[in-house]
Structure 1
């Protein structure tokens, strides 16, 4: 499973409004940035208490990106 689909899959199961989940990929030479955007009412569910959910998502993303050899970062966009 590609990193984008993995983050979308996990985020949609964490939030109340799965249709509000959007992941944008920004490719670079040595790294990739995934921008995760959710509905304003669901931002707390993605970040979690003391950032634990966000940290867990980043850890999973880091582990899956090891096989590609490219650094993948997750940014949670709050509008």
Structure 2
């Protein structure tokens, strides 16, 4: 797993590291492992609110896989990603967008 995450640690904007880069990398890795179409997974960072929000977009048929029964998979993903964000010293929100 760490080899896959190393690819995402180099995300930069104007020479600065993206906010919540570790959280974004972990989120993208987890969602890609769950869905049928990993190439359709996109994670956007929205910094307009009080804390950064990571918006996840997946292929049409994969949203149910990401949400899971009673939202348990989604909640588990949020928990792991928030823990990863602590490494960056930030708090994040995770939203699954249609």
Contact kept in structure 2, 1:30 and 1:71, CA below 8 Å? no
5+ long unaligned stretches in structure 2? 6-21
Bigger-Rg structure (1/2): 2
Please state which structure has a larger fraction of its residues in strand.
1
Q: Could you say what secondary structure the match of 1:71 adopts? A: coil
RMSD, matched Cα: 1.6
**Paired positions, count:** 78
Q: Does 1:9 align with 2:34?
A: no
5+ long unaligned stretches in structure 1? none
Say which is worse superposed, 31-40 or 60-69, in terms of deviation. 60-69
Corresponding residue for residue 25 of structure 1: 45
